Amino acid sequence: QSEDKLIFTPNDPRSLMKLNVDFRSIKGHKFNKVDGSKPTPPLLNLSKDSDKGGGYIFEFDNVGNRDLCRDFVARVLGKHQGTVPARTNVPSEKSAVSTGPEQLSSAEMERRMKLLREDSELQKLHKKFVLGNILQESEFWATRKNLLDDETNKASKQKPGFKSAMLADVRPSADGQTNKVTFSLTTEIIHQIFAEKPAVHRAFLDYVPKKLSEKDFWTKYCRAEYLLRTKNTLAAKAEAADDEELAMFLKNDDILAKEAKLKIKRVDPTLDMEADAGDDYIHLPDHGILRDGSRETADIDSELARRTLSQDLNRHAAVVLEGRSTDIESTDTKTVAEALARSKKG
């Protein structure tokens, strides 16, 4: 390499590829950050004069060789373009001259590319000013820092969501040979059960592990779900009379009931929504919404939980729209329950 040309020769002696780059055609250069946590090769990008088009991306075996070449290129370009040359001993994290390299993290590059993809006007301006060598890349984005900040804030504030499928509506499976019924609960399903059924969430915090093991807790919960699903009222009442914890799962969610009453109080008093309650026919035999092969009917005298499909759908939709708490990443059920409780208080 000289101050007029950069000659690139591949390591493989069998390769016929040899490159002569005239520094007068190079208008800028960039390099990537290599932190060691990801298998990213050290790269050096030389951008050419816009009217000649194109550029060069060089891949190096190690960061040391790349940085030597980068510093040499920065010094030569500084002389050619009449700017202060970059010092060869400046570490890669602190290079800062107007025509020198701009070091970008992969996240920052992705944000810029995303903005350019989504905004055609911004893309035209970028092509006009940056590719037209009117502005440096860093100068172009410095005047649009607010766009990058908005994109960063949008990404950081976005909550991870629950799947739209009704996971909390746990469905049992039978082996077809015996009377054994199996429920499959994952950490994600349990998290969604806690979110959709606050009374179950409260019971878990109160009972596990002081009164019940986690296995016993979910066994009773699944048993209650099975009794409610099969509408086995007599068996449910009999088991609830002998099992206090099981009875708790068979009752209506008192926390959701209180929330519903508070919402009703905020409704315009001139709108009597309860006046239409008698217009539906689910209290009559053979009327109601078809679900799981059977009609939903109401047992007015029963103390068991009465959940209609519309109620389940509305509650599930509210939880999906709210999203999950961002600080709950653990696979431990107790940790998930406690973190969810903290997020509700906050």
Q: Is residue 164 part of a domain?
A: no
Structural domain range at position 303: 173-345
For 304-333, b/e burial (b = at least 16 CB within 10 A) is: beeeeeeeeeebbeebbeeebbeebeeeeb
Quick one: 2 and 43 in the same domain? yes
pTM of the model: 0.45
Mean pLDDT over residues 203-229, rounded? Answer: 89
Residues 199 and 334 in one domain: yes
pLDDT confidence of residue 201: 92
- Whether residues 240 and 199 share a domain: the answer is yes
Q: Mean pLDDT across the stretch 219-233?
A: 84
In a domain, 166, yes or no: no
Least confident residue range of 16-20, 55-59, 61-65, 198-202: 16-20
pLDDT in tens, 240-261: 888 888 888 888 888 888 887 8
Residue 335 and residue 191 share a domain? yes
Q: Does residue 154 sit in the same domain as residue 261?
A: no
- Written as one string, the DSSP assignment of 181-218 is EE----HHHHHHHHHH-HHHHHHHHHHTTTTS-HHHHH
Strands (DSSP E) along the chain, which ranges? 5-8, 19-22, 26-32, 43-48, 55-59, 102-104, 173-174, 181-182, 290-291, 294-295
Residue 88's pLDDT band (cuts 50, 70, 90):
very low
Structural domain count, the chain = 3
pLDDT digits (tens, 9 = 90+) for 167-212: 545 566 666 666 777 878 888 888 888 888 889 999 999 998 899 9
3-state secondary structure of 112: helix
Q: CA dist 225 to 153, 308, 313, Å? A: 41, 14, 16
pLDDT digits (tens, 9 = 90+) for 110-139: 788 888 888 888 888 888 877 777 777 887
165 within a domain of the structure (yes/no): no
| Residue 122: both structure tokens together | 């911004």
In a domain, 168, yes or no: no
**8 or 238, higher pLDDT:** 238
Question: Looking at the predicted structure, is the pLDDT value of residue 216 above 90?
Answer: yes
Residue 204: predicted pLDDT? 93
Least confident of 6-15, 107-116, 322-331: 322-331
Q: What is the pLDDT of residues 35-46, one digit of tens each?
A: 766 667 888 888
Compute the distance between CA of residue 242 and CA of residue 70 in angstroms, rounded to an integer: 78
pLDDT tens readout for residues 316-326 = 777 777 766 55
Is the pLDDT at 97 greater than 50? The verdict is no
CA distance 87 to 71: 7
Gap between the Cα atoms of 205 and 194, Å rounded: 10
